[in-house]
Structure 1
């Protein structure tokens, strides 16, 4: 059989290819197929394939690309080895996408499942924001154990357009003006992607991977009457190392990262940087995937004056 080329491999439908490896989407929204990441362990799907673009993006690591990028990571092999794997079964097993013509095929803008893209139809366009009021969103917050008054302090109700369809979600703004966007049926973000740093003039910093974990923590310290630290919400682990200088401008950094492989690896890396500065606080929710998961399932009764977080 004729050997498959890189250009041919990139045309293989990623959804079909993942199915051939035993990976099925957990949910499908328009052209976005959400999976439990095949590249690491997780309990909430954050690995997205945009079938129209035939690209993938892993929200937890901030990495993405085409089938070649995925296959070499999945099998931990070279491009040549991957092509040999594909050559024997590409035609009978997979459907193909027309080759996309672009002068920037190796540019990072084309290496994600619609997170950064040239196609205006598949780009999230923010239409407007307002105070949280939509009942379905408030019900979703209640399901995540976040009081409306806490959510309203840090989030907005956001309308956006995607694939010509208007959607309304909870929006958490980053320091560059973009939003993390969530609802019961949607998880995504608008450009520009960035961290959210909240400066309360403290020498202590609490770091979270996602904003629902931050909201859970703010709910806890509000009930306990705890003094405020500074807060950093990464919004993606791809910003963790980039935020090192900011984190190390503090006297103590409490890490509340997810308990999946990627989050644990980042925590361990920070402890190697400086075990006296960085503190792993994830033991609070050691049997859960993240702080909000623990908060929802345990629904802890935080009493006035009870010490949490930095004083475990």
Structure 2
């Protein structure tokens, strides 16, 4: 069951889109709209617009668009229900209680129980660390330099040497084996039955951003294998969409996050005062991680280990973060292996200086490439600059590309490269085309990956944009067009809704968007209300309007002719008359006066 349309619309109307988006994006007024840098893709020149009259946003760069619900869902990675609750609370609207289906209620109850089991397990491990049996684990942590305050802050614990300890504890609290199995805390086999997954390990509870325990990591005491063990994915734990330490780091006053590799790195950095450190959970950085990071910052410092594996991890992470619209820089820890070792050896002040000196991630990729070729040889230099050209082609913003061309030339001028040489190399490579796998793929809404728009589709989109931007033209448009003249199915559906709104006396594109639940459809509908064409004079406006109207009628007539049943004589007469009317309209196009005032 979903909330009523009236409630959805009330919440939307009480959350002015400019006010809401201004909390996330710095907006500047230009005419009747506001503009800023798009939060959904990386750009240097503002192409993200917010239009108060439409109560909609649209990015002319990546195609992201919609009403206030769509923005909150996309930015915060919320479901529609979560976005509705968030905006209702913001506006002081009390949502009615919803009666969930039996299946939905059962799923919610199971999730709550799994969270409860994980919380009790964390408390149990925490208690075990302080018992005599946990002394070895406690000594390990303090031996690594952790204070009691940090051990408590991160809820660190210990799992005893007995492999059924936790199982017995939770069974005594009347949890079923099925639920315990789904918690990810236990293994099952025919010989032993159910037994603890974590035993004889230091335990690191993993929390979501709301401080709920969703999983665990364990570091073995002694020489057991594997050295580190993480919870499997469960109904409440998705390692590709959670970051260790983010529940604390998200409240930091710093305007960036530090992304490192392990639990101990995060904790030691927090202890040293760097409370904006987080780590991925035993997996490479994913697009899910990048989307999560985007909710809290525009910039990430990559702090992977300085060995070969750490460098590869940084190189993988850079394009993923870039695609999510997050800037990144890379910190050089050499000669130390990781941040924990660096801080212990050189101290927090020296570490802070390394953070400040972090290298631009694009130039980091270039520097790594320089190490892959024999730069003392002309052939090696040539191949290196080819690689640089490939990297530069990944940058869609021309200004940004030019700035990096100059930066590369400045850094490697000793090899005889000039700005003109490198720019020619980039242009030459662009003409040849580069292998698809070597390019960062643009988002699905990027114009580069959308199919080429036909003149008919463009005309229909322009007409829909004009209708919602200048509702006063409806009186003229209705004389010649009906929703059935829009031959693209989605455009026709939108036109029907606009015509109905017109009858009700309120053309409201933001309310109309509430009817679409599919994200791709929402994006496409948003684009329908933001089609652009450069028109300066009244004559140009009237010409564009008449061209669009005639094109729509032509496409509509062609579609009807294509689908005409030869046995239907009445339909034939209608087609003949429609064709005659269209010819007359073409001859009298100068009478199609329209005003966009």
- Structure with more of its chain in helix, by fraction: 2
TM-score, normalised by the number of residues in structure 1: 0.47
TM-score, normalised by the number of residues in structure 2: 0.26
- Structure with more of its chain in strand, by fraction: 1
Greater C-alpha radius of gyration = 2
